[in-house]
Amino acid sequence: MQIEAYLAEKVWKLPPLILHPFSDANSPQKLVQSSRASLMLQGLLPNETQSIEQLQTILLDGRYCEVRMLFYVGKDLVRWIEQCAELVHREPALTGSGIEWQSFSNLLVEDSPQPVREKLSAWGVADYKAI
């Protein structure tokens, strides 16, 4: 309890969380096409113009874009968490505080900054906590 009271006396500024764009201009369109192709393959949307093989190719292109997005978002998040952990280790007042690498990942999931949520939403991420 003493640590919480002590930490509340001062606020340390964390490094900015910078999320770089993960894709080219066509990727959002590929994600939408992939979703539609998936629905067509499941028989939930009508398909009169494309073969099953074409739909599977479109679906795989979309999945590849999703994996790329997760890779780049993950890189940016790990970079930020490492920068925050370095701040804790450099600051003598924080070294014994119990703040660890996991503390910052929990912060991102449970109390993500509004600009981060907005950027992920603009990229088409519906549930940012899931990634």
pLDDT in tens, 2-50: 445 445 578 888 898 888 776 666 777 888 899 999 999 999 999 889 9
pTM: 0.72
User: Where is mean pLDDT largest: 40-44, 67-71, 113-117?
Assistant: 40-44
Helix H, strand E, coil C: the string for the chain is CHHHHHHCCCCCCCCCCCCCCCCCCCHHHHHHHHHHHHHHHCCCCCCCCCCHHHHHHHHHHHHHHHHHHHHHHHHHHHHHHHHHHHHHHHCCCCCCCCCCHHHHHHHHHHCCCHHHHHHHHHCCCCCHHHC
pLDDT at 98: 86
